Amino acid sequence: MPADTLTLALWQTAYAASTAEALQRLDAVAAQARAQGADLLVTPEMALTGYAIGPERVAALAEAPDGPLAQEVATIAQRHGIAIVYGYPALNAGGKPFNAAQAIGPDGARLAHYRKTHLFGELDRAQFSAGDAASQVFEWRGWRLGLLICFDVEFAETVRLLALQGADAVLVPTANMVPFDNVQRVLLPARALENSLFLAYANACGGEGHAGGELVYNGLSCLLGPDGQALGQSGLGDDLLVATMDRAALQQHRASSQLPHRRSGLYGPLVSH
């Protein structure tokens, strides 16, 4: 039977010094999240490897979707009975690795896989190739879910495409940085509201070095309801934000949604430029 509620845990954390440390921390936080009633844990962008680590390091850590990191995450998910969304560098036979995220179920099976399609700045473009396929909705426990990664969610079209597939919630591992707080404060509530869906945004915090200096991640992870209001909001530091999505709230808001009144025949120029 479809679940009336789904409880998410958003892990806001600084990047670990190694993948081994990151996996140890993921194991501990998965246990904590499950103990607090979470069904699904969402981690920041590239949570297991670090984000601003340079092209050489990204290439060295890149692996297939069923590689060693995936197997470790599957073991953790099974150990604690919790689904996990995590990011990693995915092998690309045609060039630089992809910035990827996948969802692993509590039975260790892959639920979904997605490659970031919109690369942010020179750092992103130096390390990754852009994915060339839009995110697809997947179903779990009767909920229709979609994956995006960081900068992707800042494009109205990406969330709308998932909404048109019937998405109930969009899950976003991210590494948003200072000074772009308006993404969390302004843009994300609008994305949730205009598409009548839940939006979960799991950000990094703390600093991370790279060739151009140090990035400082701005935290502010959040779970937003289909009315654009925050069901939970983190501050600037380490946090495990646990909040519940309720199908009744989704249905209530969708009763007055503007989506059924779209006139798609008028919108051709939006995709022709």
Are the C-beta atoms of residues 127 and 100 closer than 8 Å to each other?
no
By three-state DSSP, how is residue 162 classified? helix
**150 catalytic, yes or no?**
yes
Q: What is the DSSP string of 62-97?
A: -B-TTSHHHHHHHHHHHHHT-EEEEEEEEP-TTSSP
Catalytic pick among 72, 116, 154, 222: 116
**Contact between 43 and 23 (Cβ < 8 Å):** no
Q: What are residue 246's DSSP bridge partners?
A: 5
User: Which candidate in 56, 96, 139, 150 is catalytic?
Assistant: 150
**Both tokens of residue 111?**
């639920």
Q: Which two tokens stand for residue 114?
A: 């997605």
Catalytic residue selected from 45, 154, 205, 222: 45
Largest CA distance in the chain: 52
Cα distances from 44 to residues 2, 143, 210, in angstroms, run: 27, 21, 18
Cα dihedral across residues 68, 70, 75, 79: positive or negative = positive
DSSP string, 191-204: HHHHHTSEEEEE-B
72 given a catalytic annotation: no
DSSP code of 57?
H
Q: Which residues are catalytic?
A: 45, 116, 150
